[in-house]
């Protein structure tokens, strides 16, 4: 790690690569600099995260993060900022592909306006044509980790962008990244037979510089905190196949469940919206509604 000398009061811009135990590691020019944030961030309840573009300033020989530049976006879980695209990694087996879990991840990406694609892993053990059909039909790119051409295409999409790989524990995020960039040697974990889940190997968000951009291998999870992000009023706009039909509902507050004159329901009945995605929408809508009610009891 290099810590170049900076004149007193001199400022330098960089990007946070990771944070551990109150220390942050910032890539500035060709140096990786260890520093701490100024106390003002704590007073303002602002926590720097990986991906933040920051200003460093030296004072009395110590380097501090003095400013966090305006964020394009920031994810709460995993905590990472200024994300250009998200790759949702889904395995066909151990754990099996789950469209509801996948949709929860997708709606968060769509809410923030972040490009989202899917990567299907472990297809050498079991194929899942239905899953691919559901999401290709909905307008998403679906890549196959066992297909060399897919691996090449994903790598091409990484150039000059900040990309996040996320998915349930044990789906093979680190394994896929290692396939593209063997030099990273990210730790991978085996599946726990007792629990049927992968062991957590990635414990904190860390950015890796690759092909002129940055990629984030994020901790696995079994639950998704989408309830604090999405509301019942904006869930429908997070389903891209709903969007062309949202202005065609008779009621402006239409929830697209059983209302008369609903453009989304009409599109669903005409086969323009797939049943799996529409049914997941109804489940998410009910979960969000119940969550909101419980908060105000």
We report the CATH number of the domain holding residue 175 as 3.40.50.300
3-state secondary structure at position 226: coil
CB 119, CB 152: distance < 8 Å: no
Give the CATH number for residue 250: 1.10.40.50
For residue 3, is it within any domain? no
Q: Say if residue 45 is in the same domain as residue 98.
A: no
Mean pLDDT, rounded, of the chain: 86
Query: In this predicted structure, what is the pLDDT of residue 240?
Result: 97
> Dmax over Cα atoms in the chain, in whole Å?
69
Phi and psi, residue 66, nearest 5° = -100, -20
Query: In this predicted structure, what is the pLDDT of residue 29?
Result: 82
Domain ends where: 19, 39, 68? 68
Name the residue range of residue 51's domain: 11-68
Q: Note the pLDDT tens digit of each residue in 16-27.
A: 999 888 889 999
Least confident interval from 24-38, 40-54, 139-153, 172-186: 172-186
Least confident interval from 128-132, 149-153, 173-177, 268-272: 173-177
pLDDT category of residue 12 using cuts at 50, 70 and 90: confident
Number of domains observed in the structure of the chain: 3
Q: What is the pTM of this model?
A: 0.86
Query: In this predicted structure, what is the pLDDT of residue 9?
Result: 53
Query: In this predicted structure, what is the pLDDT of residue 292?
Result: 86
Total residues belonging to the chain: 297
For residue 30, is it within any domain? yes
Domain ends where: 22, 50, 68? 68
Q: Say if residue 28 is in the same domain as residue 114.
A: no
Please determine, for residue 197, whether its predicted confidence score (pLDDT) is greater than 60.
no
């Amino acid at each position: 790690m290099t810590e170049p000398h900076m004149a007193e009061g001199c400022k330098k811009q960089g990007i946070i690569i990771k944070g551990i135990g109150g220390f942050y590691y910032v890539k500035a020019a060709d140096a990786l600099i260890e520093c701490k944030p100024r106390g003002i961030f704590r007073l303002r309840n602002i926590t720097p995260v990986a991906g933040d573009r920051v200003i460093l300033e030296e004072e009395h020989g110590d380097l501090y993060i003095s400013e966090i530049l305006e964020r394009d976006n920031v994810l709460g879980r995993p905590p990472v900022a200024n994300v250009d695209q998200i790759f949702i990694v889904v395995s066909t087996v151990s754990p099996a592909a789950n469209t509801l879990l996948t949709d929860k991840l997708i709606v968060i990406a769509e809410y923030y306006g972040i490009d989202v694609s899917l990567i299907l892993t472990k297809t050498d053990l079991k194929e899942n044509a239905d899953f691919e059909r559901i999401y290709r039909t909905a307008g998403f790119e679906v890549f196959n980790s066992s297909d060399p051409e897919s691996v090449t295409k994903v790598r091409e999409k990484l150039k000059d962008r900040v990309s996040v790989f996320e998915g349930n524990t044990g789906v093979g995020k680190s394994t896929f990244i290692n396939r593209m960039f063997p030099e990273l040697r990210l730790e991978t974990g085996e599946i726990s037979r007792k629990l049927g889940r992968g062991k957590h190997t990635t414990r904190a968000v860390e950015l890796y510089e690759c092909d002129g951009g940055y990629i984030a291998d994020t901790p696995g999870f079994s639950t998704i905190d989408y309830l604090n992000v999405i509301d019942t009023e904006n869930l429908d706009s997070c389903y891209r196949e709903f969007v062309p039909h949202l202005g065609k509902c008779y009621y402006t507050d239409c929830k697209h469940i059983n209302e008369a004159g609903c453009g989304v329901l009409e599109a669903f009945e005409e086969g323009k919206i797939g049943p799996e995605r529409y049914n997941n929408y109804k489940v998410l809508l009910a979960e969000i509604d119940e969550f909101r009610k419980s908060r105000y009891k």
